């Protein structure tokens, strides 16, 4: 890998007049911003539909796209929305996402677009939709039916649906599909819109030398089309309820550990099928992005399983994961694996061995660095095949972090960095990342903007009130791009023309 750099910014954090970042004009403008800044990587969070707490790591599907990303501006450009369809859009906050209002308004807009499509679509448009449905037959029907049933069941957990629906009785599902055919078609159509708009952005980014880095959460939510349609792949009882859930054990940060609540996999079942579900998940994700961050990578070596009846993680135990067999299966099916391993936390030697066996870059975070001179997050201990961050989506912003450093950490940072720490600690942390031997440096946009803790994206273990931060058009002004360009050029991360990808990608 050559030296490169990029920015971490989720789609929802882009500027937009519709209350949430989307795949419309501001997404293309951000690609232009990155190109001017000579940053060739754009990292986003998972792009799946979110749960009621708006976490992209607890999605309703591992395959579907988040409808909230769909741009009303592009729908109007296509003729799927008319001026009167957009006139009721209320003023939204500029710096945060009001998810309840955004969901309410956007769902109204999508309903109008679907009505117009059903009434007025050309034969070519209808053929393209049919081709999209055929290409996604392995996941799209189950997802659309699940979403329609979820509406019909007033959002209840699928395990609380009538038993024939929860248990996927074929005859009952056939009847339900016929009764809900309009809503099933609607949810397929929304996914078609998402795929169209995402592909347009992906192609634009590739043509302009910007690669997209996506994110695959290791687990799926219990309330998902995946657990409903493939219950045999998860640790569920006969009623579909988890018998064991994921998390991490007690440590210095939490006396009771973390109970995430996702059902763990039945890796024996997945292995028996040649890991087909995971292969398709990776294949599908790579149609949307150029590289994938694999969340909680250590869980593929050993994972922590907690009895579902336990309210905390104290009663859990470690189990053996699939190890290299999974990645061999994916590589045999897809070829080269452009994966990035999220290897943060307490990592054992076998996790490092698995990462290095497949040549996956690991991660280093400057915010974790100042515990002492033997800390692997310090730049002098970085490896070339690494991606270095000031912080991730789970960290405070660099400005907030500097304010919360312990006296010992602050003292060591002053010794390690020198006078620059006193003058501009945030800038010093950013330059430590760019100056690292690590091949790739990725900085959250909030850190480049020197924003405080109010711009934090997520706080692990706290459910309500996160994922809301947004930037504004002013944040992406030319002088900000110029400052990023100076960093890229100074630290030899601007890339070279012969390494820039210019071929557009196609949906397969």
| Residues designated as active site | 295, 342, 394
d(CA 453, CA 235): 38
Q: Would you state the structure tokens that stand for residue 423, as one six-digit string?
A: 């003058």
d(CA 62, CA 275): 15
Residue in 201, 286, 196, 214 with CA at minimum distance from that of residue 30: 201
CA-based torsion, 163, 167, 171, 177: positive or negative: positive
Residue in 78, 77, 69 with CA at minimum distance from that of residue 106: 69
d(CA 70, CA 102): 12
Q: Which residues pair with 246 in a beta bridge?
A: 305
Which whole-number Å values give the CA distances from 490 to 125, 383, 441, in the listed order? 48, 20, 13
d(CA 94, CA 13): 10
Residue in 431, 391, 362, 442 with CA at minimum distance from that of residue 8: 442
Q: Quick check: helix, strand or coil at residue 374?
A: coil
Residue in 106, 79, 83, 80 with CA at minimum distance from that of residue 16: 106
d(CA 1, CA 41): 13
CB atoms within 10 A of CB 81: 19
Q: Quick check: helix, strand or coil at residue 47?
A: coil
Residues with Cβ within 8 Å of residue 191, at least 6 apart in sequence: 64, 65, 67, 132, 136, 140, 143, 144
d(CA 279, CA 273): 11
Q: Quick check: helix, strand or coil at residue 443?
A: strand
Instruction: Note whether 38 and 489 are within 8 A (CB).
Output: yes
Burial class, 371, CB count within 10 angstroms (exposed 0-12 / middle 13-18 / buried 19+): middle
Residues with Cβ within 8 Å of residue 29, at least 6 apart in sequence: 476
CB atoms within 10 A of CB 32: 14
Burial class, 477, CB count within 10 angstroms (exposed 0-12 / middle 13-18 / buried 19+): exposed
Residue in 368, 377, 450, 361 with CA at minimum distance from that of residue 3: 361
Q: Would you state the structure tokens that stand for residue 501, as one six-digit string?
A: 């990808």
Instruction: Note whether 361 and 439 are within 8 A (CB).
Output: yes
């Amino acid at each position: 890998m050559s030296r490169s750099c990029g920015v971490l910014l989720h789609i929802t954090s882009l500027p937009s007049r519709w209350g949430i970042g989307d795949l419309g004009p501001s997404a293309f403008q951000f690609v232009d911003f990155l190109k001017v800044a000579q940053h060739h990587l754009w990292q986003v969070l998972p792009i799946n539909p979110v749960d009621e707490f708006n976490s992209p790591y607890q999605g309703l599907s591992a395959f579907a796209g988040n409808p909230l990303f769909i741009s009303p501006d592009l729908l109007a450009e296509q003729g799927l929305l008319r001026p009167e369809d957009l006139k009721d859009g209320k003023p939204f906050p500029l710096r945060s996402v009001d998810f309840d209002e955004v969901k309410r308004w956007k769902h109204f807009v999508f309903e109008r677009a679907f009505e117009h499509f059903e009434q007025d679509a050309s034969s070519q448009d209808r053929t393209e939709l049919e081709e999209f449905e055929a290409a996604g037959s392995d996941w799209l029907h189950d997802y659309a039916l699940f979403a329609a049933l979820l509406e019909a069941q007033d959002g209840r957990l699928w395990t609380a649906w009538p038993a024939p629906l929860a248990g996927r009785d074929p005859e009952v599902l056939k009847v339900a599909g016929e009764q809900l055919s309009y809503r099933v078609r609607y949810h397929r159509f929304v996914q078609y819109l998402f795929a169209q708009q995402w592909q347009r952005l992906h192609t634009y980014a590739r043509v302009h030398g910007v690669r997209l880095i996506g994110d695959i959460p290791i687990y799926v939510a219990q309330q998902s089309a995946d657990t409903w349609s493939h219950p045999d792949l998860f640790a569920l009882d006969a009623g579909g309820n988890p018998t064991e859930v994921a998390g991490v054990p007690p440590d210095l940060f939490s006396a009771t550990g973390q109970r995430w609540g996702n059902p763990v996999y039945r890796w024996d079942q997945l292995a028996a099928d040649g890991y087909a579900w995971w292969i398709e998940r990776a294949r599908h994700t790579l149609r949307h992005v150029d590289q994938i961050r694999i969340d909680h990578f250590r869980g593929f070596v050993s994972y922590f399983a907690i009895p579902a009846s336990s309210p905390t993680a104290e009663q859990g135990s470690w189990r053996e994961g699939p190890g290299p067999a999974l990645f061999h299966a994916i590589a045999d099916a897809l070829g080269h694996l452009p994966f990035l391993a999220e290897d943060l936390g307490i990592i054992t030697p076998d996790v490092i061995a698995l990462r290095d066996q497949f040549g996956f870059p690991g991660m280093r975070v400057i915010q974790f660095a100042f515990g002492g001179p033997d800390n692997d997050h310090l730049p002098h201990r970085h490896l070339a095949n690494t991606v270095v961050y000031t912080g991730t989506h789970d960290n405070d912003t660099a400005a907030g972090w500097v304010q919360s450093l312990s006296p010992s950490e602050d003292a060591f940072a002053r010794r390690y960095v020198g006078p620059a720490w006193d003058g501009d600690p945030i800038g010093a942390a950013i330059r430590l990342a760019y100056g690292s031997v690590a091949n790739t440096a990725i900085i959250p946009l909030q850190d480049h903007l020197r924003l405080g803790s109010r711009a934090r994206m997520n706080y692990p273990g706290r459910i309500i009130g996160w994922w809301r931060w947004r930037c504004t058009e002013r944040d992406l002004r030319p002088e900000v791009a110029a400052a990023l360009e100076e960093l890229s050029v100074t630290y030899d991360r601007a890339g070279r023309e012969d390494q820039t990808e210019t071929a557009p990608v196609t949906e397969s």
